[in-house]
Amino acid sequence: MRILMIGDVVGKLGRQTLTRLLPAIREEQNLDFVVANGENAAGGFGLSARTANDIFAAGVDVITSGNHIWDQNDIYTYLTTDAPVLRPLNYSAQLPGRGWIVVRDRANAPIGVLNLQGVVLMPQHLDNPFEAADRVLGSREAIKPLAMPIVVDFHAETTAEKGAMAWYLAGRVSAVVGTHTHVATADPRIIKGTAFVTDLGMTGPRDSVIGSDPETAIRHLLLQTPGQRNVVVSGVAMLNAVVIETDPQTHLAVSITRLDRFIELPTCVWYNRSRATPKSSVRRSTSHYGTFLPRPRPHPD
């Protein structure tokens, strides 16, 4: 099976990049399945039903997420539907949604997708992601042959925690890919049959600070004061991803290759409920207490 795993989709520019590039990539790479992390797709903060539908329409089969999954109000209801959208498994079981899913590719072959979130230097206090993985995959001491390809999106801050997870799951899953930092790493490799890359990167504005307007990011870090996070919505965009190929018998990885594409997109037009309004090249969102936490917006770009 040939699987494309795409880094965090950031805002409208990221969604437009998927729409423009993914159909051709699916054909060119002869892909069977596509996974994308969508936790920043709604104006840079969270995922909404509308932005999830944009991602699916572009050709993505499963959407994974991370710590920003809860930022939009309507996601709580959306996660109770049959839509193949995951939130990290190691959040509380009292929250809606799921972190593990088995679906079928376009040839009707099964594939499992697992979504976990790290705990090192992350603001949330979640269950141990290693133990959460064991609840799905079984004990590390009793490795079983894979019945199907299984890929893991590990949404975590530190390279060490991501690397440790790859070694912990080595031989038990087809792939472990890191997300969250929005910075693509140049270390794709195979560990005991498990494809691994520390971070996929992001799908969104190239000329930015992990998706944000550089000047506002500089001001926030220079002055150490609360401010605004301005998400870049035009200019050169990039799509960061990896292509993973699995063995049809063992379902372990036989190759992992970086796929990075660039495209220049014009200034977006944003839509509110009543009329279309052209805006500048950044979208403004208030942050709280010097962090980049958003106020939920019902219809963000």
pLDDT tens digits, one per residue of 187-202: 999 999 999 999 999 9
Give the pLDDT confidence score for residue 142 in this predicted structure: 84
Give the pLDDT confidence score for residue 266 in this predicted structure: 80
Q: Which pair of tokens denotes residue 100?
A: 């593990």
152 close to 124: Cβ distance less than 8 angstroms: no
Q: How confident is the model at residue 19 (pLDDT cuts 50, 70, 90)?
A: very high
Question: Looking at the annotation, which residues are catalytic?
Answer: 68
Pair type for strands 175-179 and 194-197? parallel
* Amino acid present at 163: G
Give the pLDDT confidence score for residue 289 in this predicted structure: 27
Pair type for strands 110-117 and 100-104? antiparallel
Q: Which pair of tokens denotes residue 180?
A: 């969250």
Which DSSP letter does residue 16 get?
A: H
Q: How confident is the model at residue 274 (pLDDT cuts 50, 70, 90)?
A: very low
Residue with tokens 């060119």: 28
pLDDT in tens, 221-234: 999 987 777 888 88
DSSP for 225-238, written as a single string = ---EEEEE-SEEEE
Kindly tell me if the per-residue pLDDT of 115 is higher than 90: yes
Give the pLDDT confidence score for residue 233 in this predicted structure: 83
Task: Evaluate the CA torsion angle 41, 127, 246, 177 in order and state its sign.
Answer: positive
Is 190 strand, coil or helix? strand
pLDDT (average), residues 224-249? 90
Residue 204: closest CA among 31, 60, 16: 16
Q: Which pair of tokens denotes residue 295?
A: 């106020």
Nearby residues of 93 by Cβ (< 8 Å), 6 or more positions away = none
pLDDT in tens, 95-108: 999 999 999 999 99
Give the pLDDT confidence score for residue 281 in this predicted structure: 41
Kindly tell me if the per-residue pLDDT of 71 is higher than 50: yes
Give the up-direction half-sphere exposure of residue 202: CA atoms within 13 A in the CB hemisphere. Answer: 24
Give the pLDDT confidence score for residue 29 in this predicted structure: 98
Residue 120: closest CA among 87, 149, 159: 159
Q: Give dist(CA 116, CA 100) in Å, integer.
A: 9
Supply the pTM of this predicted model.
0.89
* Amino acid present at 262: F
Pair type for strands 110-117 and 62-64? unpaired
Give the pLDDT confidence score for residue 267 in this predicted structure: 58
Helix, strand, coil % in the chain, rounded to nearest 5: 20, 30, 50
> Where in the chain are the domains?
2-286
Rounded (5°) CA angle 294-206-58 = 75
Kindly tell me if the per-residue pLDDT of 296 is higher than 80: no
Percent of the chain, pLDDT > 70? 89
Give the up-direction half-sphere exposure of residue 258: CA atoms within 13 A in the CB hemisphere. Answer: 18
* Amino acid present at 221: L
Give the pLDDT confidence score for residue 230 in this predicted structure: 81
Q: Give dist(CA 183, CA 203) in Å, integer.
A: 10
Average pLDDT, the chain: 90
pLDDT (average), residues 273-283? 36
Kindly tell me if the per-residue pLDDT of 216 is higher than 80: yes
Kindly tell me if the per-residue pLDDT of 36 is higher than 50: yes
76 close to 96: Cβ distance less than 8 angstroms: yes
Q: Which CATH class is domain 2-286?
A: alpha beta
Q: Which pair of tokens denotes residue 238?
A: 């990039």
Give the pLDDT confidence score for residue 300 in this predicted structure: 64
Task: Evaluate the CA torsion angle 205, 207, 213, 219 in order and state its sign.
Answer: positive
